[in-house]
Structure 1
Amino acid sequence: MQASDVEQRGTEQPWPANAPVRPRPSEPQELEAALDRLSEGAERFRKLSAQARAELLRAVLARFWELSPAMVELGCRARGVDPASAYAGEEWLSGPGITVRAIRVFAETLEEIARLGAPRIEASAVMPLPHGGLAVTVCPRDGYDRVAFPAWQCDVWVDCDHPSRLAEQQAAAYQRLSKESGVALVLGAGNVGSISVLDVLHQTFAEGRVCLLKMSPANAYLGPLFERAFAPLVERGFLAFAYGGADVGAFLVGHPAVDALHITGSVETHDTIIWGPKGQEREERRRAGRLLVTKPITSELGNVTPVLVVPADYTDRELERAARTVVGMFLDNASFNCVTPRTIVTARGWPQRAAFLAAITQLLRATPTRLAYYPGAHALYDRLLATVEPGRAQFFGERRDGHLPWTFVPGLSPESDAPLFGIEPFCCILTEVPVDAKDPVEFLEQGPAFVNERLWGTLNASVIVPDRHLRDVALDRALARAVRALRYGTVGINLWPAFGYGMGTAPWGGAPGSTLADPQSGLGWGHNALLFQSAVKTVVRAPLMGQPEPPWNPGRRRHARLDCALAALQADPTPRNIARLAWALVR
């Protein structure tokens, strides 16, 4: 659940006193003129060579990086945090850091297509999977990745029987782009600045469509900076921007000049667009399959994100790291991410369960509350908390000045009909569910079954397990079966699935198989700079006790200079920026 472009959310949140100014809503005549320019530009874009498209992206990359400090400052002000504080690091990584990497890898892909006919994938990066298909390592791709992300790995599973067929599929994907064109409407997300930009990159350079980006009201303040950064595309009629609320979104969705639609938002937004307002008439349309919109539609609609903590025998340090891993993912961006963990799954009889939950609560207690800046968060928090059994929820911090307390709800029964299983709590609520499993192998069967069947969404999930236990052949095989069984687009092993989101090279979206009638976390893949055509899922992994710890983990010394240096390396992977990152690490 993220920014809605068709429905209006609650407005009870305080907008910080020094918050950035939001652009005025676009007028109908401005929208018509923008669509006219895009319709004219679509054919010109179709005729561009791969090298010409890459040169456009290289120009955008330089401009985007130049404007990144201003984007970070605006994002901090909108979230009520000091741009000079450690919290600015979140903005550097989730905004410019991810964005410039995606721009760069799309440019590299197009340059490789111009030279080789297909994106470059080294033979050593492709491995057959035991159950069929291939695993393609998309990070690390080079020495710079190995320095930036030591011991972290991102693999894309593809339904392809041979590496040579993989290259053929990628080459055919680009050839299709040179024969098709059109105008895509991107309804942007409001919680993270990079989401809308990555959606535009995918629609333009992986699908071959020029784009109209409708900014979410929640972060529309970034729009003017995006327009300046993307001026090489805007000036040529390949990209345009729109601002406003539900009325502007509805006008654009129904416009005949729009050929395709991408939605990043809530499932309610999706259903309103496809089936109409909530009520009996919507359900009748859904049953009859009478769509209100028949254009091609892709979407990313959030998730009740689970973390499965394997009930192994942890050392004290491993147990502490496991807790920091979960809480770090939960705290980032004040819990307003579609990849934020919402449900911890444990084993009821695990001897270390009480100690693990105590470590979770200790970390939450030690963390200052954040401004609950996202529209509708307070109302959703109250509505979901009202469904929790009295006395079960634990609160850390006070509700005041727009802040909400970190809230932990342990011990929910896996057999219950808890609304927190079916509604993404896009706010600061974390739950825990113990399943009945007598050992780690049984847990790796029951845990995936529970989250697949009882939790809403198919976007991402995590598994935490000490690496030394994977020397046990039975447990290692059980983990492999569990990763395969988890019906999610991205699965993380001891690593936040957000790493897969941020790579740009990996497809991002809900697990394949959703429909317009039951979209779950969405339809289709985004990002996907390497143009995979038969992706099944993305798997990211890291050692539980790897060093250095991820920058989002609590208890780790973090500062904006480090995250800015990591972002700079993504924009321009050079020895100079490696040295800058190393210096930031030791400061």
Structure 2
Amino acid sequence: MTALSPSGPLVDGKLVETPHTITVVNPATGEACAECPAATPELLERAVDAAVRAAPAWAKEPGARRWTLETVATVLDENREALARTLSTETGIPVRDAAMEAAGAAAFARHRAAGPLPVDSVHDDERQRVQVRRAPIGVVGAIIPWNAPLLISAEKISTAFATGNTVIVKPSPLAPLTTALLGELLAQSVPSGVLGVLPGGDELGAALVAHPAVGMISFTGSIDAGRAIMAAAAPRLKRLSLELGGNDAAIVLPDVSGGAVAKTAAKVYAGAFYRSGQVCAAIKRLYLPRPVFGEFTEALAALAGQAVVGDPFDPSVTMGPVSNRAQSDRVRGLVEDAVAAGGTVLAGGPEVSGPGYFHRPTLVTGLAADTALVAQEQFGPALPVLPYDEVDEAVAAANDTDYGLGASVWTTDPERGAEVAASLDAGSVWVNRHGVVSPEIPFGGMKQSGYGRANGAAGLDQYSELKTVSVRR
């Protein structure tokens, strides 16, 4: 086994051979870098059958589940370098950021291993005892996106294990290698049947969703795909956790002026362009008070001009490529459309010359609210910047969307920021920070940006059947 050559899908505790493969393209070169073994419908049936058989005993062993999660965390830590290199190769994110993702994945596993499932006490007196307990759903199908496959796989696996479920993971065909490598590394560390890792295309994902023995689907990805999954899950009333697209707005309040401008601009820039903007909760629209609009955009443009875009394994590089050709074409098309609509590019613009899917961090001003770059999720290194006169105007503009994943408020007065945050329609609203997601804090979207919550106690409930036990004394 090498980092870029996983041995095969993980089925019933074993790595199995398959004649089918997925060609994986390195976005830094635009060329094929590996062939990932791909699962077949027959392997899916075998994996589901194994997960069903393993589920009853697994549900009854909370101690074994916690021990397994600790082992998962250890495996992630011990193989951080190989995982990071694989992740960087197939997604293009700088390898140091890939290592941070591996560390975050281990943190998710350790968090879920930390304690038993909570039991809620509703009544406990001389007349009655009423408790709400969390029972497993059974087999969870986890469908993983291409942008952060290791972290999101770890989150879904860890929460499924903690709640007593078995889980089958289906990574994106655009970035299957890291998840496949994780399955290979865990093959000897988890009980047979409780984890399946099945790389494959959209047809395999559809079969996983439709399978009658799969009781829950946990999906992270686009709104359109989430709607399709919800429709396919409806006939059997499958449980769902859907973390979908976002068009996160950031509002800088008028009190940010003078020396606070440069400091705030640096943080906003990071919130927008970290990992080339390919983060579900990245800043995707920026609203600035008109009096500081020029100064603030100049500070952002200077930061964009300092970005070193290139090989993700080069220590001097601060931004790698866009992760795949389709997404690169989309970002370029949105910027071209914005310019055609009268927008002005303040920084960035053309792709970096040479092979690969490189695109410099791009700022665009002078856009109407209905311009595609403003109204849609770009999911890449292009940020529309819009002026406002009154805070209520900015809040209304931020809320005027079908998206509702995240938002942020930037201010020198945190309490005022919290007041404005309360009026924003998003599942997570940050003040003087953006996109902070951790295992203990619930995360998910409002409106079209999702259904349910991941992380925290709310995430445990999402993967559980809540069972009320009522005892008359």
Query: For the superposition of Structure 1 and Structure 2, which TM-score range results when normalised by the shorter chain?
Result: 0.7 to 0.9
Q: Say yes or no: does 1:411 pair with 2:366.
A: yes
| Counterpart mapping for 1:408-487 below 5 A | 408-413=363-368, 416-437=369-390, 443=391, 445-452=392-399, 454-466=400-412, 469=413, 476=415, 478-487=416-425
1:227 deviation in Å? Answer: 1.3
Q: Which amino acid aligns with 1:372?
A: V
Q: Say yes or no: does 1:103 pair with 2:92.
A: no
1-structure distance, mates of 2:241, 2:458: 18
2-structure distance, mates of 1:392, 1:27: 49
1:202 matched residue in structure 2 = 159
1:325 matched residue in structure 2 = 267
Bigger relative contact order (CA 8 A; separation at least 6) = 1
Cα 1:211/1:12, change in 2 over 3 Å = closer
Deviates more, 1:360-369 or 1:416-425: 416-425
Question: What CA deviation, in whole Å up to 9, does each residue of 1:214-261 have, x standing for no partner?
Answer: 011122111232114433664332111111111111222111121111
1:531 deviation in Å? Answer: 6.2
- Out of 195, 200, 207, the position equivalent to 1:244 is 200
- Out of 408, 416, 441, the position equivalent to 1:506 is 441
2:277 matched residue in structure 1 = 335
C-alpha RMSD of matched pairs (Å): 2.9
Q: Which amino acid aligns with 1:407?
A: T
Q: Which amino acid aligns with 1:74?
A: T
Q: Say yes or no: does 1:495 pair with 2:433.
A: yes
Q: Say yes or no: does 1:271 pair with 2:227.
A: yes
Cα 1:362/1:372, change in 2 over 3 Å = same
Question: What CA deviation, in whole Å up to 9, does each residue of 1:335-385 have, x standing for no partner?
Answer: 11112111101123x2x2210111011111111333222352122124323
- Out of 456, 464, 469, the position equivalent to 1:528 is 456
Contact kept? 1:187, 1:215, Cα under 8 Å: yes
**TM-score scaled by length of structure 2:** 0.80
Equivalences, count: 418
Contact kept? 1:329, 1:341, Cα under 8 Å: yes
Contact kept? 1:199, 1:527, Cα under 8 Å: no
- SS of corresponding position for 2:250: strand
Question: What CA deviation, in whole Å up to 9, does each residue of 1:138-192 have, x standing for no partner?
Answer: xxxxxxxxxxxxxxxxxxxxxxxxxx979xxxx956x322xx4411111111111
Question: What CA deviation, in whole Å up to 9, does each residue of 1:99-153 have, x standing for no partner?
Answer: 111111111123xx5xxx669xxxxxxxxxxxxxxxxxxxxxxxxxxxxxxxxxx
2-structure distance, mates of 1:507, 1:107: 17
1-structure distance, mates of 2:268, 2:32: 30
2:50 matched residue in structure 1 = 37
2:240 matched residue in structure 1 = 297
1:403 deviation in Å? Answer: 1.2
2-structure distance, mates of 1:465, 1:292: 48
2-structure distance, mates of 1:364, 1:79: 21
Cα 1:436/1:17, change in 2 over 3 Å = closer
| Counterpart mapping for 1:95-174 below 5 A | 95-110=101-116
Cα 1:292/1:506, change in 2 over 3 Å = same
Cα 1:108/1:242, change in 2 over 3 Å = same
1:16 matched residue in structure 2 = 29
Cα 1:195/1:313, change in 2 over 3 Å = closer
2-structure distance, mates of 1:372, 1:306: 21
More helix by share: 1
Deviates more, 1:54-63 or 1:384-393: 384-393
**TM-score scaled by length of structure 1:** 0.66
- SS of corresponding position for 1:376: helix
Contact kept? 2:141, 2:209, Cα under 8 Å: yes
Q: Which amino acid aligns with 1:376?
A: A
- Out of 339, 344, 363, the position equivalent to 1:392 is 344
1:78 deviation in Å? Answer: 2.5
Q: Which amino acid aligns with 1:296?
A: R
- SS of corresponding position for 2:207: helix
1:32 deviation in Å? Answer: 0.9
Contact kept? 1:387, 1:419, Cα under 8 Å: yes
Q: Which amino acid aligns with 1:508?
A: F
